[in-house]
Structure 1
Amino acid sequence: MARRPHILFLNEFYHPDICASAVVAADHLPKIARMRPDWQVTVIAGDRSWIDPTVVYPAAGEHEGVGVIRVNRPAVSRTNLIRRALGFAAFQRSAVRAARVLEAVDLVVATTAPPQGAEIARRIAGAHQCPFVYKVLDLYPDLAAALGKTREGSLLYRRWLAADTRVMRAAARVVSIAERMTERIQTTRGLAVEKVTTIHDGFDASKLSVATPNAFARAHNPSGRFVVQYAGNMGLSHPFETILDAARRLAPDADVLFQFIGDGPQRGQLASHLPEGAQLLPYQPAERLGDVLAAADVCLISQHDAMYDKALPYKIYAILASGRPTVFVGNKKSEIAEWLIAGGAGRHVRQGEPDLLVEAITRYRDRPDERETGGAAARQLFAARFDSELSARKWVALIEELISGPRGV
């Protein structure tokens, strides 16, 4: 019997973790395995939980047709870059060792979780004499410079950029999750157009089941106020100043409730500046996401201005699928701003414009017809472009193309 092609994925986190990269991988990989049951699909991930590093997962398992190998990943701080780098290095060593004992691998796919994931893939692919794919979730070192963690043009930045460019050029294909990011990669790394492709992550709308009655809404908004909701990662690339300023200006309005749901490096600062009457809630279980989004009247997404071509907030897909209008606070060049404006699914406000954010929120509150129209447009946009079944099909087509060619990198 012929050996099944073996596709190996690398991601720092995997199911049941709820960080974006883990959720995307746990969405795409089982779909790929279902579409191509003649392939062996395996993922190597870290053994510690993203949300609670004291939780250690079993070394091996299976998730919806995907083999899962867990390797050592020390518990590290999300804010201390030196400790994070040490943790990444430990994960790299463990992943390479784990892949070395696999009988055969035909393609390696790695992401920027961790940032040097593609270098890990390059080493594993070299050992197995197979191609590898570099999937860019966040573009480094560009993102680090945008957040002030390194200086563009510094020695560290130049070396990091040179290393990233080398591994991109060695990859069989570079896959970006956003068009603006693809354009930046082509410009800053000098890659040919055909070398880089965009596959948006998308989302599985079947995960948005809503309970009747909605226990989340009853617990946190029993009086039925108009809910303005930010739900997700509270990381450094998501500024809150404009949103908090708008929330303070609307605090006297008893009809408006701001909800901040999630965790991340900025949660502490958010807590210390939380306006009167606003709610700060922890991450909710993944199975309650539908209830959480259904409790919102308007959803908010915030992104650092300089990040528009270096990252794309994953939360946009679930919001669109839930049929909620969105106000995006960030750079108008972002694809999210383009989608919302062109599709009639929401509005755009620049960072530092709290008056315009207040205006957008109160308009949605006072015009339920616009809110309903925006929600319907969001669902339509999602169905047409961002169902993750479409994303998985694109991945299958790409993998088919690459494993049918000559082996080696």
Structure 2
Amino acid sequence: MGWRVTVVADGCGPSDAPPGVSVRRTGGDAPRDERAVPRDPRLTARGYLAGALRLIQRALRLPRHDVVVTMTDPPLLGCAGPLIAARHGAASLHWSQDVFPALLPVLGIHLPEPLMRMTERASVRALRRHDAVVAIGRCMAGRLAAAGVPAERITVLPNWPDPRIRPVPRADNPFRREHDLGGRFTVAYSGNMGLAHPMDPLLDAAALLARSDPAIAILLIGEGRRRAAVAEAVERRGLTNVRLLPLQPPDRLAESLSAADLHLATMDPRAEGLLVPSKVAGALAAGRPCLFLGPAGSDAAAMLEGCGQRLAPDDVAGLAAAIRRYAGDPLLRAAHGARALTVASAWDATAAARRFAVLAETLRQTKLRGASVLRGRSLPHA
């Protein structure tokens, strides 16, 4: 779309990128996120702070850019966005994937109350200084506005499913063959088993299904801080209908997501407006219905009209009944799968890029006009 993009990333990972995009790495030891094996929380906090400082220093040394975009990993990096933008004479845009520090208690990180209040005030002040804030859901936009970010500066731009995800026919799916699923009705939870995604209701429903419908296969695919506890619970409870599989590489997402007849997603109700689970979008892009255990006001719940169902986060019996309903009704699965593809195709990477480019160009032009006005005002004093 005519933009030259520089990505500033921490660590020493790969820097290959498509034409028009250059990657500048800090060379530091990037902290792993919670999808990886967890470290000592104190080391993780120090690692994130050190990573943020490296990113800021690297961004300040870049040549001039028109728009500076900050993300929410590491947390509170957005506080530095206006500073980096001022260095470049650029517009500042914060792309909010999560809302920190409000999300920290949900993740089990409890700061002392005075520090929490100070961090929240600093975060809101920084967001109010940005020229624009992108929220990945309506619920998040409402949360940001309630915190004090001017509503006119907030743009809702949902995340999109990985473009590599597509429906793979059941009979032709190598993932089903590799895992000997045969003709079994298969339910999958695929993605991060993080602290904001409760897993106990899924295991409790699996225990009910093990007694009533043992032929139903349940796949738990992914990593995260809950994974070890989930593996221990599966073994301790003797859930032979549950299999744990590692996080799948991106080039196998289409096969792994299509291997399921039905998908599951969960979210801690306290996280409403603080994050939007991406599992739902991936399931729909594979043409599969999805059951979501989470708050009714979440954007994930809104996506499932006609292609899934939202249940209360602790509705174990309802979850087991919904799984049985889909398992016994192939016509329902087909109708909801078709609707899922329609929903997913309405918002893809290309549509998101167009919206983002329009927003970035608007910010660039506004910044240029502002600079022109300031130069004009300075002439009488020259």
Q: TM over 0.5: same fold? A: yes
Q: What is the identity percentage for the equivalent residue pairs of Structure 1 and Structure 2?
A: 33
Q: Which residue of 1 aligns with 2:51?
A: 91
Quote the residue 1:392 is aligned against.
Answer: 353
1:316-335 equivalent positions in 2, closer than 5 A: 316-335=280-299
The residue correspondences of 1:133-282 to structure 2 (distance < 5 A) are: 133-150=93-110, 154-188=113-147, 190-208=148-166, 210=168, 213-252=172-211, 253-274=213-234, 275-282=239-246
The alignment's C-alpha RMSD in Å is: 2.0
SS in 1 for 2:161: coil
Which residue pairs with 1:23 in the alignment? none
The answer as to whether partners of 2:205 and 2:317 remain within 8 angstroms in 1 is yes
Distance in 1 of aligned mates of 2:53 and 2:272 = 32
Deviation at 1:135, TM superposition (A): 1.0
Of 343-352 and 241-250, the range deviating more from structure 2: 343-352
Conservation of the 8 A alpha-carbon contact between 2:272 and 2:295: yes
CA contact (8 A) 1:92 1:120 kept: no
- Counterpart CA distance in 1 for 2:334 and 2:142 is 34
> In structure 2, what is the equivalent of residue 102 of structure 1?
62
Corresponding residue of 2:270: 306
Q: Is the 8 A contact 1:72 1:91 kept in 2?
A: no
d(CA) in 2 for partners of 1:103, 1:187: 36
- The equivalences for 1:51-90 within 5 A come to 56-58=12-14, 60-74=15-29, 76=31, 78=34, 79=38, 80-90=40-50
For 2:221, what is the secondary structure of its paired residue? strand
Q: TM-score, normalised by structure 2?
A: 0.89
- How far has the Cα of 1:206 moved from its partner? 4.3
Q: Which amino acid aligns with 2:157?
A: I
| CA distance in structure 2 between the partners assigned to 1:330 and 1:242 by the alignment | 11
Write the deviation string for residues 168-192 of structure 1: whole angstroms up to 9, x where unpaired: 011010110010010011112x222
* CA offsets 1:327-386 (integer angstroms, 9 cap, x no match): 00111121221221xx311011112211000000000001111111111111111222x2
Secondary structure at the counterpart of residue 222 of structure 2? strand
Report how far residue 266 of structure 1 moved. Answer: 0.5
Unaligned 5+ segments in structure 1 are: 1-34, 48-55
Instruction: Name the CA shift for 1:335/1:61 in 2 (closer, same or farther; >3 Å).
Output: closer
The CA deviation string for residues 37-84 of structure 1, in whole angstroms up to 9 with x for no partner, is: xx211101122xxxxxxxx425x5433431111113425464443222
Q: Given that residues 106 and 270 in structure 2 are in contact (C-alpha distance below 8 angstroms), is that contact kept between their aligned partners in structure 1?
A: yes
Q: Deviations over 1:176-222 (max 9, x none)?
A: 0010010011112x222211111011124444374873221101134
Structure number with larger C-alpha Rg? 2
Cα shift readout 1:276-314 (whole Å, capped 9, x = no counterpart): 231000011110100011110100001101112110011
Deviation, 1:269, is 0.3
SS in 2 for 1:197: strand
Structure 1 position 401 matched with structure 2 position 365: no
Q: Quote the Cα distance in structure 2 between the aligned partners of 1:338 and 1:222.
A: 31
- In the TM superposition, residue 406 of structure 1 has moved relative to its aligned partner by 2.5
Cα pair 1:72 1:90 within 8 Å, conserved? no
Aligned residues: 359
Once residues 292 and 406 of structure 1 are traced to their aligned partners in structure 2, the CA distance between those partners, rounded to angstroms, is 45
Tell me the TM-score normalised to structure 1 length. 0.83
Question: What residue ranges of structure 2 are gaps of 5+ in the alignment?
Answer: 372-382
Q: How does 1:360-371 map to 2 (within 5 A)?
A: 360-371=322-333
Per-residue deviation, 1:125: 1.4
Q: 1:81 to 1:120 in 2, by over 3 A?
A: farther
Shift in alpha-carbon separation, 1:271–1:93, aligned structure 2, 3 A: same
